[in-house]
């Protein structure tokens, strides 16, 4: 961003009008940035209070104090020592990692066909993809649960959540399709003229150009699985060995009902990876948000 | 080219399309079409997961609308959330988007700080807010008390639980901020310059230049906001559970909606009926109500001019 407020440059005597304009610009700058700081406090203070409380002693966390008397870094080791916490980490990484890979692999060809093939029923397919994307997961949960639990006997595991990701995820298909639409057809035609079949065109020409879109989809899907509460609640609640962090966190609060310090430390540990990943992949993320919203 | 090879070519191209679409075609059948039909079927059955389903006609529908005590409170809450929470989020998101386009110093830092809360995992963010808004010892009430202001009961008071959830939703307004920011930067500069030459006030420029330009995005934000409200599940459920203090290992005993049904939403009813009361039939009735509402607003979204359905080439 360029600096708009230039330092007043004294070239001869500024007229009264110029001086008023400058003063107004300065006042506007101060007003805007004060608002900005107020907003920044609103967005950051919750994080600050959570971190501060996570470092208090269990007694102090129950008081109105805002800053720890003694900094109890040991709270974090205590969280890791909680039975199950490491298992939840492992399960979350499997769910999010495997789910993301399956989603990307299965969604890319579908999105490519929807963006670049001409066929009858393409608009209908796209409408159905959008409908699936907007469908609250609770709408179909009863038959899905009966299918996975009664017919396939997979309740108590995360497989009912992972396996469907091998069959395309509507949101990912939609986002990728939006991204692939922005790739000019000339590139595809050139590859076809060179004798590439559609699969080779997709792998050699389109995929390298679609990297930002794929990165955005992978991130969204990883975070979706990381944050998912309803899925593990339905399929994994009966078996603590299959819990994920988002699901286990709530029961952590249950087991430590008065220990707000430990609960907040666990909260920090669930939030931190997401925020770290964001810092490394900020651009892809923001691109994904705008792509689904504005360019749609 | 003979018609024979032409037909063969067409068949090959159709096969190729089906091959590329195949993961989703299977997914559509197994994870969308089949369970939807099945949901309609179960909505007419009495079934608790054991034995065989028994035909009950419209009995489940009558039960949900007339006798199930949580249905109407949940629908009222949904209406409140649509009117208040969605409106607040759109207005606040637009405000923050405007602010970030005006900030000239440290823009990147501000943008990141404003965006981060959107990423906080919902369960973690909800736990954090239940702690922050703890009526007795939470930091927010400590500060309010210090300033001599009233200290509401937030998540423990039926009158304040939805405003507390709204505060949580405003904290995570980063998605809307990014969308509005992109839209605001797309407004042609010349229109502002022309308006400024006409001696218009800042409010008039917002009203007659900015708003008409970004109105499709405002519409998009409102409709997706309504659809998100239909899916609003984790935050109200976790807030209710944690604030009530009833979270044991299984969590089966918790009646959602604490305090006093004020945080009930429709998706929670599907869970309550299906997985706590084992009345799968009635759960499917609520699921179909939810389906109808979500699809009505999705249709609205798809009909939007130049909308999601932007044609391919």
Q: What is the pLDDT of residues A45-79, one digit of tens each?
A: 999 999 999 999 988 888 888 889 989 999 999 99
pLDDT at B291 over 90: yes
How far is it, in rounded angstroms, from Cα A210 to Cα A217? 11
CB atoms B24 and A145 under 8 Å: no
Between B254 and A10, residue with greater pLDDT: B254
B188 secondary structure, DSSP code: -
Q: Which residue of A has its CA nearest to B311?
A: A123
Q: Calculate ∠ Cα B273-B274-B277, nearest 5°.
A: 55
Q: Count interface pairs A-B at CB distance under 8 A.
A: 296
Contact A216, A284 (CB under 8 A): yes
How far is it, in rounded angstroms, from Cα B217 to Cα B308? 12
pLDDT at B312 over 50: no
Give the pLDDT means over successive 10-residue stretches in chain A (296 positions): 48 77 90 95 95 92 86 92 91 96 97 93 93 93 95 95 96 92 88 86 89 89 94 94 92 77 92 88 72 51
Out of A114, A136, A245, closest to residue B290 by CB: A136
DSSP string for A26-39: HHHHHHHHHHHHHH
Q: Which residue of B has its CA nearest to A257?
A: B245
The pLDDT confidence band at residue B109, using thresholds 50, 70 and 90, is: very high
* Per-residue pLDDT, A89: 93
**Cα–Cα separations (whole angstroms), residue A223 to A91, A151, A273, B41, B122:** 14, 29, 10, 34, 11
Q: Which residue of A has its CA nearest to B169?
A: A43
State yes or no: cis peptide before B259, omega within 30 of 0.
Answer: yes
A72 secondary structure, DSSP code: -
Phi, psi of B54 (to 5 degrees): -115, 135
The pLDDT confidence band at residue B249, using thresholds 50, 70 and 90, is: very low
CB atoms A138 and B139 under 8 Å: no
* Per-residue pLDDT, B306: 47
pLDDT at B308 over 80: no
Q: What percent of chain B has pLDDT over 90?
A: 74
How far is it, in rounded angstroms, from Cα B177 to Cα B180? 5
Q: What is the pLDDT of residues B228-241, one digit of tens each?
A: 999 999 999 999 99
**Cα–Cα separations (whole angstroms), residue A59 to A77, A233, B141:** 18, 32, 19
Q: What is the pLDDT of residues A227-246, one digit of tens each?
A: 999 999 999 999 999 999 99
- DSSP β-bridge partners for residue B45: B55
DSSP string for B209-220: IIHHHHHHHHHH
Which stretch of A20-29, A45-54, B34-43, B275-284 has the lowest confidence by average pLDDT?
Answer: A20-29
Contact A180, B72 (CB under 8 A): no
Q: What percent of chain B has pLDDT over 70?
A: 94
**Cα–Cα separations (whole angstroms), residue B187 to A1, A132, B151:** 18, 32, 43
Closest CA to B175 of A136, A176, A287, A295: A287
B 123-182 residues inside an 8 A Cβ radius of A: 123-125, 127-129, 131-132, 137, 139, 142, 171, 175, 178-179, 182
The pLDDT confidence band at residue B75, using thresholds 50, 70 and 90, is: very high
- The domain limits of chain A are 16-54, 77-293
CB atoms A167 and B291 under 8 Å: no
And the tokens for A144?
A: 């899905």
Q: Which residue of B has its CA nearest to A44?
A: B113
And the tokens for A32?
A: 């805007």
- DSSP β-bridge partners for residue A135: none
How far is it, in rounded angstroms, from Cα B191 to Cα B209? 7
ipTM, two decimals, is: 0.90
* Per-residue pLDDT, B35: 96
Q: Which residue of B has its CA nearest to A220?
A: B119
A163 secondary structure, DSSP code: G
CATH number for the domain formed by residue range(s) A77-293: 1.10.3720.10
Choose the mutation target among A1, A3, A31, A36 for the interface with B, i.e. most B CBs under 10 Å: A36
Q: How close, in Å, is residue A11 to chain B by CA atoms?
A: 25
Q: Which long-range contacts (CB under 8 A, 24 or more apart) does A180-188 make?
A: A180/A111, A180/A112, A180/A115, A180/A116, A180/A206, A180/A210, A180/A213, A181/A115, A181/B310, A181/B312, A182/A295, A183/A209, A183/A210, A185/A116, A185/B313, A188/A116
- Chain B residues inside the 8 Å CB shell of A141: 270-271, 274, 287
**Cα–Cα separations (whole angstroms), residue B7 to A113, B4, B15, B212, B213:** 21, 5, 12, 50, 48
- Chain A residues inside the 8 Å CB shell of B123: 227, 229, 246-247, 249-250, 270
């Amino acid at each position: 961003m360029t600096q708009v407020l230039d330092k007043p440059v004294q070239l001869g005597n500024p007229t009264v009008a110029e001086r008023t304009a400058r003063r107004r610009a300065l006042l506007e700058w101060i007003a805007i940035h004060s608002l900005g700081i107020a907003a920044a406090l609103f967005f950051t203070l919750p994080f600050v209070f959570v971190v501060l409380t996570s470092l208090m002693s269990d007694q102090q966390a129950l008081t109105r104090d805002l800053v720890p008397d003694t900094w109890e870094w040991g709270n974090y080791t205590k969280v890791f020592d909680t039975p199950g916490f490491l298992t939840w980490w492992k399960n979350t990484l499997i769910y999010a990692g495997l789910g993301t890979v399956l989603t990307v692999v299965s969604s890319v060809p579908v999105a490519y066909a929807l963006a670049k093939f001409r066929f009858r029923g393409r608009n209908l397919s796209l409408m159905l993809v959008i409908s699936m994307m907007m469908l609250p997961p609770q709408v179909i949960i009863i038959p899905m649960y009966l299918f996975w639990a009664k017919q396939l006997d997979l309740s108590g595991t995360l497989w009912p959540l992972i396996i469907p990701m091998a069959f395309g995820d509507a949101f990912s298909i939609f986002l990728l399709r939006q991204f692939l639409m922005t790739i000019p057809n000339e590139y595809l035609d050139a590859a076809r003229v060179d004798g590439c079949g559609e699969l080779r065109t997709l792998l050699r020409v389109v995929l390298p150009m679609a990297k930002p879109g794929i990165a955005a989809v992978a991130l969204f899907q990883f975070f979706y699985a990381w944050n998912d509460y309803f899925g593990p609640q339905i399929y994994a609640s009966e078996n603590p060995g299959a819990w994920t962090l988002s699901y286990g966190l709530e029961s952590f609060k249950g087991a430590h009902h008065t220990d707000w310090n430990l609960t907040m430390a666990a909260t920090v540990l669930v939030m931190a990876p997401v925020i770290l990943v964001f810092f490394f992949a900020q651009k892809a993320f923001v691109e994904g948000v705008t792509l689904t919203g504005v360019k749609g | 080219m003979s018609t024979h090879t032409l037909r063969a070519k067409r068949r090959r191209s159709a096969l190729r399309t089906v091959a590329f679409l195949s993961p989703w075609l299977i997914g559509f059948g197994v994870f969308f079409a089949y369970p939807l039909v099945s949901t309609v079927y179960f909505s007419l059955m009495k079934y608790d997961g054991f034995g065989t389903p028994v035909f009950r006609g419209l009995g489940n529908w009558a039960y949900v609308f007339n006798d199930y005590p949580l249905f109407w409170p949940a629908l009222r809450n949904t209406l409140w959330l649509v009117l208040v929470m969605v409106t607040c989020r759109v207005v606040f998101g637009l405000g923050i988007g405007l602010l970030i386009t005006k900030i000239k110093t440290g823009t990147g830092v501000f943008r990141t700080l404003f965006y981060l809360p959107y990423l906080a995992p919902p369960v973690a963010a909800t736990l954090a807010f239940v702690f922050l808004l703890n009526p007795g010892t939470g930091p927010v009430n400590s500060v309010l008390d210090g300033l001599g202001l009233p200290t509401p009961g937030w998540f423990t008071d039926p009158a304040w639980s939805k405003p507390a959830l709204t505060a949580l939703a405003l904290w995570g307004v980063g998605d809307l901020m990014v969308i509005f920011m992109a839209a605001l930067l797309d407004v042609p500069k010349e229109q502002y310059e022309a308006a400024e030459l006409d001696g218009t006030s800042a409010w008039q420029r917002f009203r007659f230049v900015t708003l008409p330009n970004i109105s499709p995005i405002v519409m998009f934000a409102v409709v997706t906001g309504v659809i998100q409200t239909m899916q609003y599940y984790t935050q109200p459920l976790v807030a209710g559970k944690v604030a009530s203090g009833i979270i044991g290992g299984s969590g089966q005993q918790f009646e959602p909606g604490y305090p006093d049904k004020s945080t009930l939403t429709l998706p929670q009813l599907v869970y309550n009926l299906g997985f706590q009361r084992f009345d799968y039939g009635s759960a499917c009735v609520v699921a179909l109500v939810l389906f109808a509402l979500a699809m009505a607003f999705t249709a609205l979204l798809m009909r939007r001019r130049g909308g999601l359905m932007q044609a391919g080439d």
